[in-house]
Amino acid sequence: MDETEDTRKPQEPESTRKTKELLPGFTVRLSTDYDSYGGEIDDPRRAFWAHCLENNEFTEEQIREIERELARRFSNALINEAASFRYARQPSSDLHPRMAFTFKFENLRYGSLLFDVSILGIGPFMSFFFNNPDVVSAFLELAVPEAVSEAIPYAMRGSRPGCAVYPNTALEAAFKSVEGNDGQSQSDIPMSGWAKVFQLSTRIPFFIPLILSLVVLYVAASFVSGERDRISLRETRLDSREARLDDREKDIRSGIEDRTGKLETLTLELVKQLRAEKPSPASDAAAKNAPHPASSSP
């Protein structure tokens, strides 16, 4: 051997070493219950798709086509979900914002179905989601199952598989680095007032449901209070009307009693007059025949 010959192992190119580094990303696990459909198939790969699509007659080429389409369409579907998710949280933003990141689908494997997704451009990705790890976690939990459903070229006629997302260590490190910048998970855009309060509140999972519950309680209490006031006003009006009716009834009874008393008095006087004795004819004749006293002579 020539002494000048370099016996050391050749160094790998810089680009090759970088591709072997763990990129920030996550693992997706889709799980199904094979007992309901596809449990009789020994191959876990065919059993998974037979259960999801309720068809155990797929050929090997058709399964490969499904896998190719899933790998090809998943990244675009997840990009669209990201834009919709951001717009739902911040309606004033552009529905199709510029995205300086993408997703890389790789390492598809079975037991259940598992695959890895690398995030190319972790800085813009975190900035896109307001540098808030909680927002990123919520996005992954909600958007990944929808992106999987959109990426599969056949309709899932069976029950949808359970979907779990596991961030890798590089993505968790990116979360910690963002949180460590200023002690908060905020975007680079300065905010103030209620916008900042709302952004901070997204770190508390129960904050928004709590606010909605308080609003519902306030509206219900206002409605009950207003209804109570209306009922009280109606009762007051009914009491006033009842009092007026009582006074009118008393006046009518008093008038009837006065008239009855007067009528009784008139009736008694009339009876007395009718019962009074009248002079008989014999007494009248005797009075006429009685001698008058002689007048004195002159």
pLDDT tens per residue across span 69-91: 888 899 999 998 998 888 887 76
pLDDT greater than 50 at residue 264: yes
Q: What is the mean pLDDT of residues 38-47?
A: 71
Q: How far apart are the first and last CA of the chain?
A: 215
Whether 56 and 43 have beta carbons less than 8 Å apart is answered as no
Mean pLDDT for the chain overall: 75
Q: Is pTM, for the whole model, over 0.75?
A: no
| Tokens 């889709």 found at | 30
Q: What is the mean pLDDT of residues 42-61?
A: 79
Q: What is the mean pLDDT of residues 143-171?
A: 82
**pLDDT at residue 290 in the model:** 59
Residues 218 and 224: their CA atoms lie apart, in Å, by 10
pLDDT greater than 60 at residue 182: no
- Give per-residue pLDDT as tens, 212-249: 888 888 888 888 888 888 888 888 888 888 888 888 88
Residues 112 and 44: their CA atoms lie apart, in Å, by 7
